[in-house]
Structure 1
Amino acid sequence: MADSLIHTATAADVEQCLTVLTLAFCSDPISRWAWPDPRQYLKAFPRFAQVFGGRAIKHGTANYFKDFSGVALWLPPGVAPDGASLKEVIQDTVDAKRKDAMSSLFEQMDVFYPREAHWHLSLIGVDPAHHRKGIGSALLSHVLNTLDDQMVFAYLEASSSQNVPLYERHGFDALGNIQVADCPPIVPMLRKPRVC
């Protein structure tokens, strides 16, 4: 797909980006484990997405596919999710019996977080009405091609095992498996730059 269909999100696009991601993650195993009640999920997930990946918009590294059918929030090297706000969101919104497990999950994620310079794909999602159109692949390729040119690593956490093959097709390798209590597994993945 043409890069001309992919645009950089600005502060004016925050609500639209969060709405698309909320739709995209509505059946995500981890998200629905954390927020099993639909009303709870619809209220909490946008707040979570804002603190986990929202800094991408500030840094000009958030992309959306035309008409906001898909969104990717990339955190550039040296930029991380807002840790203090993330803890607050977990405490304020996550199901009471899962708060400790959710906190432990993020602690384990830190173990796999790369020490070398990398871009972190904090969140990527496609509106379910637009699945199977290559939008996720287009959003990935848009940034990965640039990272290859710059010889920079990319990192992500796959919150659904169904997405792992997509990421593998784009050159990501699984680093392990993260699972706490009855939480579905998360697969941290790293992509080394491809040399042409």
Structure 2
Amino acid sequence: MSTRPAPLSAGYGIRPARPAESAAVAALLARAFADDPVMAWMIPGADGERERRIARYFRLARRQQRPRAAAVRVAATAEGRLLGAALWSGPGRWRTSAVRELAALPRYAGIFGLRGMPRAGEVQEVMHEAHPAEPHWYLPAVGTDRGLQGMGVGSALLRQQLADCDRLGQPAYLESSNITNVPFYEKLGFRVTGELLLPNGGPTLWPMWRGPDPAAGRAPR
């Protein structure tokens, strides 16, 4: 039975995700990241099993994000169909506290397994060491459902927050785990600032930074 979503025919809007949508958001992001090079490196195995484990990862990631401002936004139709989702962290809030990370370790171990857990730790270490110190909005993950790429959903999902960044004079930051996605982010004003090479033959990530658009002006104080 095909899991490909029906064609997009209705309008949609961007809004915060609802608590009851946690599983649906995680499943959507798992489908979007099923073939992601870094996810495949951290979570090896058959496609179906890997997708289920990725969904568990994103559900845990959302739980870790929940206390943060504008943590999860979705593109959704009026009928409630989710088309895409983005995780955002506000300035100074991108890093989960050591206490929360320690408490989540058993669940992460269950997701990544014995082989993937060291790799996940290496990914986190590399990303943390390269993370900019300047206050910014951080985008750890964004994805659109299968069959909807290239239809403007991802751009619409990000433009709302990026417009707020421009209005407030705040930059944004992300790491692209797939080189084919770099042009998409460049069209939104991001630029590649280097390469993050994962150890032991792991894939590459591309950190990208977006300064606020001066033409948008700052919010009045």
Tell me which interval the TM-score lies in, with the shorter structure as reference length. Answer: 0.7 to 0.9
Q: How far did 1:51 drift? A: 3.7
1:47 corresponds to which of 52, 56, 75? 56
Question: Share of identical aligned residues, percent?
Answer: 27
Q: How far did 1:6 drift? A: 1.1
1:35 corresponds to which of 36, 43, 68? 43
Going from structure 1 to structure 2, the CA distance change for 1:88 and 1:175 (only over 3 Å counts) comes to farther
Q: How far did 1:85 drift? A: 5.5
Secondary structure at 1:26 match in 2:
coil
Going from structure 1 to structure 2, the CA distance change for 1:65 and 1:184 (only over 3 Å counts) comes to same
Going from structure 1 to structure 2, the CA distance change for 1:182 and 1:11 (only over 3 Å counts) comes to same
The answer to whether the Cα contact below 8 Å between 2:23 and 2:59 also exists between their aligned partners in 1 is no
Alignment pair present for 1:79 and 2:93: yes
Alignment pair present for 1:133 and 2:126: no
Alignment pair present for 1:192 and 2:211: yes
Read off the aligned partner of 1:7 and give its amino acid letter: R
Distance 1:165 1:184 in 2: 18
Q: Which residue pairs with 1:70 in the alignment?
A: 84
2:169 corresponds to which of 151, 167, 189? 151
Q: How far did 1:95 drift? A: 5.0
Alignment pair present for 1:19 and 2:32: no
Q: How many residues align?
A: 194
Structure 2 unmatched runs, 5+: 1-10, 216-221
Superposition RMSD in Å? 2.2
Relative to its length, the structure with more helix (as a share) is 1
Read off the aligned partner of 2:50 and give its amino acid letter: Y
Per-residue CA shift, 1:70-92, capped at 9, x if unaligned?
Answer: 11111112223543356545433
Per-residue CA shift, 1:44-77, capped at 9, x if unaligned?
Answer: 2123223434444443432111221111111112
Distance 1:109 1:174 in 2: 14
Distance 2:95 2:33 in 1: 18
Length-normalised TM-score, structure 1: 0.88
Distance 1:116 1:68 in 2: 33
Length-normalised TM-score, structure 2: 0.78
Q: Which has the larger radius of gyration?
A: 2
Distance 1:77 1:103 in 2: 23
Alignment pair present for 1:142 and 2:176: no
Distance 2:208 2:107 in 1: 25
Distance 2:85 2:213 in 1: 24
Structure 1 unmatched runs, 5+: none
Going from structure 1 to structure 2, the CA distance change for 1:85 and 1:27 (only over 3 Å counts) comes to farther
Secondary structure at 1:79 match in 2:
coil
Distance 1:81 1:51 in 2: 14
